[in-house]
Structure 1
Amino acid sequence: MRKLAILAILLAATAVLAGARLPVHGPLPQQRPDIEGSSAPTPDSNAGGTQPPPAAEMPTPEPKPDNQKPETSTPNETATPKTEPAKPMQGPPLPPGKENPQGPTEENKPPAAQTLEEQHLTIEPESDADHAECTAALQALGVVFKDAPRIDDGNGCGIDKPIIVSEALPGIKLKPEATIRCPAALALARWMKESVIPAASAALPERGRITTVNQATSYMCRLRNGAETGKISEHARGNAIDIASFHFEKGEDVAVRSRREDPTLTGAFQRTVSAAGCLYFTTVLDPESDAAHETHFHLDVIERKGNYRYCH
């Protein structure tokens, strides 16, 4: 009897559960009451639930003010604050008439970029006393020369007291005649007497004495190495002379050319006189210096601070 009672209870519970129905829709959330213009949901007669208001009635979010910082950053944004571009530094005002025009000028170009005209150079003056002392030393050595009128080719090219040398030493012609300043002629004569002639006698005695020195350039108005811009050449000031070859009583001329690897006495002669040149000139450039001097010695008497000399 007890078992039958339990079975009857189970059957009754099953019937109750089978008759229960779940609602078709779960509960829908109510719209936020703090948004202006919102409306309460209306019953859906067909589905028994609620519908949202038509799209035209949905509230539109108000745009944020322009100065409001966005809550999140996009990949194109940066955390670095935006700063104003740096303004160029300005120096003191220029005097009237000296304002900077557009583009480079003679004043702000580096010396290496200036033409001879842009450098506004002047001829170096020579004192009468210094010139008289120098020419007296030339006469004592037997140099054949004559004074010439002042040369002024403009742009700093010229010689205040030029001389024309026809013999570097007695019996040794200078071909062609060289127009130079006296200090350059004096250095040439001393180099020839004290170094070139003794070296030739030691290295090439079979050729006899030197009778001619062939020069390639003396005075010439130009920049260094004939460039269009850069420093003025010492040739344009009468301070330089280029020696191309030596003519002897016998045999061929000894031409100045690259002889660094020349194992002969001719090579030894040229290397010796090139090295000795720095005792008399402040600049010596030979064929081993660069391509611009591969056929001659460049010798000049430019004055540098501390009596500095450049010999290569």
Structure 2
Amino acid sequence: MEQPLTPRVDQPLKPRGGQRLKPRGKRHVTRNQTQQKTQAPLPSPADVPVPGPGIPVPEPRPADAPKADAAKTEEQKTEGPKTTGAPDRFNEEKSHQKKQARPQPSAPEPSADTESEPEPPAVAPTPTQKPDIAEPEAQPPAVAPQPPPKPTDAGDEKMLPDPRSADLPDGKMPAEEVACRERLKTLGVEFEEHKAESNPKIGCSIPYPIVLKTLGKSIAIAPGTELNCPMAEVAARFAASVIQPAAKADFGADLKSIGQASAFVCRPRNGTRKLSEHAFGNALDIASFTLSDGKKIEVGPAPPEKEGKFLNAVRKAACGPFKTVLGPGADPDHSLHFHLDLEPRRHGGTFCQ
């Protein structure tokens, strides 16, 4: 049993158009009237009864209206003209209401909560699997780390270049070397020729060395002293002209011998990369003097007063004939000897301390 439409409480249901329903009778309907009935517009929303409060009425689809009109027109063409009656009009309106009440699919409106949350992915990401075998822990090195090596000594480093390092002997001894040897013989110096000294790796070189036995007729030098000839000549002249007279004046005895601490040595200066004058046989270190009465005077920082006077006189007189003079007080390396050399200096100057 069909239920009648629920009328609005505040408005009773009225027949459409305010017309009274006429009883069905036989009427002659012309063609024009049939067309007018066929083309009659759908009832307006005002004529359709409104459902009661609380029942939502969905909006009709735009596409449903033409379909309803087309179906209605076909029905009218098939059945022919029909006198409008109350039951047919009621059924027609009820059918139209059912079509309008049919729920239509519509896209859900996004809520505020939905907009704020990101959409879940189509496929849930699979978490990365942990390896079955755990990584081995870092092990301490098998060998303990070694400290950085200490800097090498200056003597192990490459020496600064010196033009004399390239000196090599000629096939025939130069004239100046021959003349130097003749002067030594005149002074009464005993010496021996020695083979050339050369060390290209370090830079040492003496192309025409000699080994001194004495510094004069009565002044010995020991141990064997290898020098170049010019240095040997200056040392012999200094011993005869300065040291011998000073020993006679201060001690009343002759100078018998000189004890040398160093002559030719292939090495740099202490703590530097510069070659020492010893590397060219151009330096002599004197550690002591021995007199004819057997007295020995040693070079040191605090000699006795009388010996100190003699040592100071020799040291002071050496500055001039020799270009470099060092001794006790100059530096710790020369606290026990006199260093004498012929290092060439600008304008023939000297360095004495």
Instruction: Note whether the superposition's TM-score is higher than 0.5.
Output: yes
Matches within 5 A, 1:157-236: 157-205=204-252, 208-225=253-270, 227=271, 229-236=272-279
Query: 1:247 aligns to what?
Result: 290
Distance of 1:251 and 1:129 partners within structure 2: 41
**Largest Rg, 1 or 2:** 2
Give secondary structure in 1 for the equivalent of 2:274.
coil
Matches within 5 A, 1:38-117: 117=158
- Is the contact between residue 123 and residue 159 of structure 1 (CA under 8 Å) also seen in structure 2? no
Following TM superposition, by how much is the alpha carbon of 1:168 offset from its aligned partner in structure 2, in angstroms? 1.2
- Is the contact between residue 190 and residue 280 of structure 1 (CA under 8 Å) also seen in structure 2? no
Structure 1 gaps, min length 5: 1-55, 57-111
Over 3 Å counting, the alpha-carbon distance change for 1:140 and 1:116 in structure 2 is farther
Could you report, residue by residue, the CA deviation over 1:249-274 in whole angstroms, capped at 9, with x for unpaired residues? 22431001124xx6722111100000
Query: 1:303 aligns to what?
Result: 344
Give secondary structure in 1 for the equivalent of 2:316.
helix
**How many residues in Structure 1 have an aligned counterpart in Structure 2?**
196
Following TM superposition, by how much is the alpha carbon of 1:124 offset from its aligned partner in structure 2, in angstroms? 3.7
Following TM superposition, by how much is the alpha carbon of 1:202 offset from its aligned partner in structure 2, in angstroms? 0.7
Query: 1:39 aligns to what?
Result: none
Distance of 2:158 and 2:335 partners within structure 1: 29
Give secondary structure in 2 for the equivalent of 1:169.
coil
Over 3 Å counting, the alpha-carbon distance change for 1:120 and 1:263 in structure 2 is closer
State the Cα RMSD in Å.
2.2
2:176 maps to which of 101, 121, 130: 130
Distance of 2:232 and 2:311 partners within structure 1: 20
Could you report, residue by residue, the CA deviation over 1:104-163 in whole angstroms, capped at 9, with x for unpaired residues? xxxxxxxx9795535354244687122122112111111111111111122211201100
- Is the contact between residue 320 and residue 350 of structure 2 (CA under 8 Å) also seen in structure 1? no
Distance of 1:117 and 1:235 partners within structure 2: 17
Q: Which amino acid aligns with 2:182?
A: A
Is the counterpart of residue 289 in structure 1 residue 330 in structure 2? yes
Q: Which amino acid aligns with 1:294?
A: S
Identity level (%): 34
Distance of 1:247 and 1:263 partners within structure 2: 16
Over 3 Å counting, the alpha-carbon distance change for 1:175 and 1:263 in structure 2 is closer
Provide the TM-score with structure 1 as the length reference: 0.59
- Is the contact between residue 159 and residue 274 of structure 2 (CA under 8 Å) also seen in structure 1? no
Distance of 1:252 and 1:291 partners within structure 2: 26
Distance of 1:217 and 1:263 partners within structure 2: 24
Query: 2:107 aligns to what?
Result: none
Following TM superposition, by how much is the alpha carbon of 1:209 offset from its aligned partner in structure 2, in angstroms? 1.4
Distance of 1:116 and 1:136 partners within structure 2: 40
Give secondary structure in 1 for the equivalent of 2:175.
helix
Following TM superposition, by how much is the alpha carbon of 1:200 offset from its aligned partner in structure 2, in angstroms? 0.6
Structure 2 gaps, min length 5: 1-111, 113-152
Could you report, residue by residue, the CA deviation over 1:165-208 in whole angstroms, capped at 9, with x for unpaired residues? 01011122111010110111111111111110111111111xx2
Distance of 1:137 and 1:267 partners within structure 2: 33
Following TM superposition, by how much is the alpha carbon of 1:311 offset from its aligned partner in structure 2, in angstroms? 1.0
Distance of 2:284 and 2:157 partners within structure 1: 20
Distance of 1:132 and 1:290 partners within structure 2: 38
Provide the TM-score with structure 2 as the length reference: 0.52
